[in-house]
A and B are shown apart, each in its own frame.
Chain A
Amino acid sequence: MPITYTSGEQVEVYRFSVPVTVGVPLLALFLQAFVPLRFPFFSIFDLPLLVTIFFAMARRNPVSGLLTGALIGLIQDALTHRAIGLYGIAKTVVGFGASSMGAKLDAENAGARFLLTLGFYLLHSAVYFTVARGMVSLTLDWSWSRGVLAGLANAAVGVALYFVLDRFKQRT
């Protein structure tokens, strides 16, 4: 049974089948954990974040967006040795923001997707660092150059990934 979400009237709302809804986030988490072993530079990417943004923008429903983000973030937290909730909170905010933006903007073209992904990557980093420093007292070094570079790389990969994932969209 497909999962459906409804939202605004002007923009089109998409749904995804259960295998895609479950499988794509799991695959993203798996690749995020596995690929850096062979290609260390891959850790600069955040595939679970890109998947969160994609689903949130496609469904255009803030509640489903934030819940998707929270779930993916919590699983991502569970794979680390840090406290559970750091990625959860950051991706909840991003999921909510992406679905809210998706409901107001036409995020189908590559340029808009690139900018949105870049913006949400920086938002994600800001929330993560704030919570990590403020609540867990982690010593994290923020580098603007590295952050922006990683944001650009994630945005570029995100645009390509979104076009692949667009094939799984189902019109409501």
Chain B
Amino acid sequence: METVLGRYRNLIILVGVLFLQVLGLAVQVKRTSDAESTRLIRVWAVGTITPLERGLIWGQTYSGNLWHNYFYLRGVRAENRQLKEQIDQLRLEQVRLNQDAEQAHRLQALLSFKERYISKTVAAQVIGSSGSDQSRSVYIDKGISDGIEQDMAVLTADGVVGKVLTVFPSTSLVLLINDQSSGVGAILEKSRLQGVLRGTPNGEVMLERVMSDEQVAPGETLLTSGGDQIFPKGLPLGRVAKVAGTDSGLFLNVKVKPAANLGRLEEVLVVLAKQEHQATAEGTGRVRTVDIMAQRLPSVPNKPAVSAGGAGIGVPGTAANDGAAKTPTVKPQSQTGVKPQTSAPSVRPKPVESDTTKPQGSISMTGVANKAATNPASGVTSAAPPKTVTAPGKPAISRPKTVTPATGTPASEDDSH
């Protein structure tokens, strides 16, 4: 017996070591949360390797900063001047975008659309990778102590990078979108087709679940759909690079070029908090579609107010007609029991400057509303102090707030009758 054991000692040890590893692997496969069952080993390994990487990155950054901050200041003055000019232009652009954002906000309110905005992020340095083609993931230098949690979205200025998979005390493992185990809810910007973005074994990114009878054009931009509850909606994912049919013929094979350069990641942003926002315009209560349409469409203008005892004839569909026709004067809806429709998108006045910057196709009746707001004779509008409107993530701009009746009937037209 001893001779047999001695003779096959090496093989027995090999089989034993392999058996132990296979057993460990089987346990991990059986448990779905293998990250928890092997956490200690991972913490040790990461704790051994990442300090070296962190040190090297620190040294690299320090020497880079030294060079850029002290030795490479040529042309900074000219660049500063150029940047200031650029800021001025961007400010103008921002005003226009604020208008658009507010309009979109009001439209979302009509749809009771819940939007998630990025409200808090933390910048992180990529300090290492898994070092394997079979696991496309990177390590960042922020962990539990920095408020990082599992499943947080990770981005760059170019687009989505991935999500936080495992969090360690001072580092985190980020699963890239080109790993085959990742999945991101995606939507094509123009065609609005939805699908799932997945990585392939060879590191490419494919959009799955797009039916073969759909038209997908190469070059089209792909955005996050927000359906995965991890990535906020509307972040750039990439562009369609190639479209082909699958073997089964049911779905398209849409190859995507990621917006972020996943092969050369240095700094990333981790989304710490998403602000879930129920888009609401000012005012309370639900807005009926018919009311909104009534405001948008031209209607028969009100007749001038009639003195007491006279028959006040209102415009069909208006408060004056519905509820207050018998009253001697035309009253605002708010006084007739009908909800004031201040939340309606089309009746809110816009500042004068917005008229010049507003894109075509806008549905608001800016000019009319402004007229109404400034017509004291109509008695149906009242000017309020300027109100600050803030688009998400953008500085506030001030604009006058005006309360108008639900009819949206141009007050100035009253004068013509």
Indicate the size class of the contact surface on chain A: 35 or more
Chain B residue nearest to A127 (CB atoms) is B18
What B residues does A137 contact at CB under 8 A? 29
Q: How far is the CA of A67 from the CA of B13 in the complex (A)?
A: 9
A-B CB contacts (within 8 Å), total count: 146
From A33, A43, A92, A138, give the contact of B128 (CB < 8 A).
A33
Nearest Cβ in chain A — how far from B184, in angstroms?
16
Nearest Cβ in chain A — how far from B157, in angstroms?
18
Whether A83 is near chain B, meaning CB under 8 Å from some CB there, is: yes
Query: Across the interface, do A135 and B129 meet the contact criterion of CB distance under 8 Å?
Result: no
What B residues does A78 contact at CB under 8 A? 38, 41-42, 44-46
Nearest Cβ in chain B — how far from A4, in angstroms?
18
Nearest Cβ in chain B — how far from A100, in angstroms?
8
* Chain B binder among A10-18, A34-42, A116-124, A154-162: A34-42
From A26, A128, A131, give the contact of B48 (CB < 8 A).
A26
Within 8 A of A (CB), among B20-71: 21-22, 24-26, 28-29, 34-35, 38, 41-42, 44-46, 48-49, 52-53, 56
Digit string of A127-155 for contact with B (CB within 8 Å is 1, else 0)?
Answer: 01001100111111101000000000000
Whether A107 is near chain B, meaning CB under 8 Å from some CB there, is: no
Chain B residue nearest to A27 (CB atoms) is B52
Q: Is the interface of A mostly helix, strand, loop or mixed?
A: helix
Query: Across the interface, do B129 and A33 meet the contact criterion of CB distance under 8 Å?
Result: yes
Whether B341 is near chain A, meaning CB under 8 Å from some CB there, is: no
Digit string of A64-83 for contact with B (CB within 8 Å is 1, else 0)?
Answer: 00110010001110111111
Whether B175 is near chain A, meaning CB under 8 Å from some CB there, is: yes
Query: Across the interface, do A37 and B34 meet the contact criterion of CB distance under 8 Å?
Result: no
Query: Across the interface, do A141 and B29 meet the contact criterion of CB distance under 8 Å?
Result: no
Digit string of A94-114 for contact with B (CB within 8 Å is 1, else 0)?
Answer: 001000100000000000000
Within 8 A of B (CB), among A46-98: 62-63, 66-67, 70, 74-76, 78-89, 92-93, 96
Known: A75-B45, A78-B44, A92-B14. A83 touches B132 (CB 8 A): no
Query: Across the interface, do B41 and A85 meet the contact criterion of CB distance under 8 Å?
Result: no
Query: Across the interface, do A29 and B201 meet the contact criterion of CB distance under 8 Å?
Result: no
Digit string of B266-289 for contact with A (CB within 8 Å is 1, else 0)?
Answer: 100000000000000000000000
Query: Across the interface, do A135 and B41 meet the contact criterion of CB distance under 8 Å?
Result: no
From B14, B131, B200, give the contact of A79 (CB < 8 A).
B131
Query: Across the interface, do A81 and B165 meet the contact criterion of CB distance under 8 Å?
Result: yes
Known: A78-B42, A83-B25. 12 other contacts (CB 8 A): A33-B130, A33-B131, A63-B9, A75-B49, A76-B131, A78-B38, A81-B165, A83-B29, A96-B10, A128-B134, A135-B29, A143-B202
Q: Which residues of B contact A (CB under 8 A)?
A: 9-10, 13-14, 17-18, 21-22, 24-26, 28-29, 34-35, 38, 41-42, 44-46, 48-49, 52-53, 56, 126-135, 137-139, 165-166, 173, 175, 179-181, 200-202, 263-266
